[in-house]
Amino acid sequence: MKPEDFKPLIEDAYSTISPYIRETPVIQLKEGGFGIDAGLVLKLELFQHAGSFKSRGAFNRILNNTVPPAGVIAASGGNHGAAVAYAAKRLGYSAEIFVPTVSSATKIERIKSYGATLSVGGRDYFEALEESNSRATQTHALVVHAFNQWEVIAGQGTVGLEFEKQSPALDTVLISVGGGGLIAGIAAWYQDRCQVVSVEPESAPTLHDSMRVGDRTTVEVGGIAADALGARQVGEMMFPIAQRYVNKCVLVDEASIIKAQLLLWDELRIVAEPAGVVPIAALISKQYVPQPGERIGVLICGGNTKLSDFVEATGG
């Protein structure tokens, strides 16, 4: 499938999933907000069902396929698992979720709260994926991949469709990247109408390094956002989209991520997980420096954390 072929799939996905998802709000900040010399528009996808954008792709994958008696199965760092468990419960199917040991207690609790069968094991997402794939060959459950299926990418792309509808004059959007399904969908939606910038922690430079060498590469991942941005390699399906439509890749350090969490709390009283504030970290650390008059869209993509976790991480 060519990168330019995804836009109609995203439009179809939005029609399919709209009865099941929230249109998440945006907040427009005046120039100078957060100390940034640019107009910022925040899209608060952390208010999505199950706490992140992942519900969009999960619903689109399930609703576009026949679900067998064994239900659905997924591997996840946490947010995708919660989304699949939520979507399955909402649609009346069973779900089996595999997460690695780095998955946070908050995300594990949320998965369990939706009634899914949960297995915890492996040091990272890819080891959990191996276990999930092995189990799927036994049960023949419908596999809902975290980022490497067209239905999932198209579902995540509805964030871009919705964002453009709400804020049609953006010059740039800053997007957190793990396995790449989110940025692929958003980039495929905007194509060349808006600059798309990927942001990753220095401890998980998966897309950054792949774009630098011109091919998908495997990296070691870690750090405070590893449960959400912990893919060692970006998806095969997303990479051509990134090569075509992602304009720039930047990295941020952990201190800037923590500072961004605190800033979002201090200014707006919003508690987001580390992966959700990586784009803000890029701005306040000047890893992305806006041009004069630039209007920037910032996606706050996840909020699966607890106040106690936030306080511990930030020292607040």
Domain extents for the chain?
A: 3-52+151-314, 54-143
Residue 142 has pLDDT above 60, yes or no: yes
Q: What is the pLDDT of residue 159?
A: 99
List all residues 6 or more positions away from 20 whose beta carbon is below 8 Å from its beta carbon: 49, 55, 59, 63, 87, 90
Q: Note the pLDDT tens digit of each residue in 143-159.
A: 999 999 999 999 999 99
List all residues 6 or more positions away from 29 whose beta carbon is below 8 Å from its beta carbon: 39, 40, 41, 42
Q: 54-143 has which CATH code? A: 3.40.50.1100
DSSP state of 297: E
> Residue 16 corresponds to which tokens in the numbers above?
């399919």
Q: What is the pLDDT of residue 39?
A: 92
- Average pLDDT for 238-255: 97
> Residue 112 corresponds to which tokens in the numbers above?
């369990």
CA dist 115 and 89 (Å) reads 7
Identify each DSSP E strand in 50-181 by its residue range. Answer: 72-75, 95-99, 117-120, 142-143, 172-176
Check for a shared fold between 3-52+151-314 and 54-143.
yes
Task: Read off the pTM.
Answer: 0.94
CA dist 178 and 230 (Å) reads 6
CA dist 287 and 308 (Å) reads 29
pLDDT band at residue 315 under the 50/70/90 scheme: low
CA dist 50 and 64 (Å) reads 20
- Quick one: which of 184, 183, 202, 216 has its CA closest to 250? 202
3-52+151-314: what fold? Rossmann fold (3.40.50)
Residues pairing with 274 in the sheet: none
Residue 223 has pLDDT above 80, yes or no: no
CA dist 17 and 316 (Å) reads 38
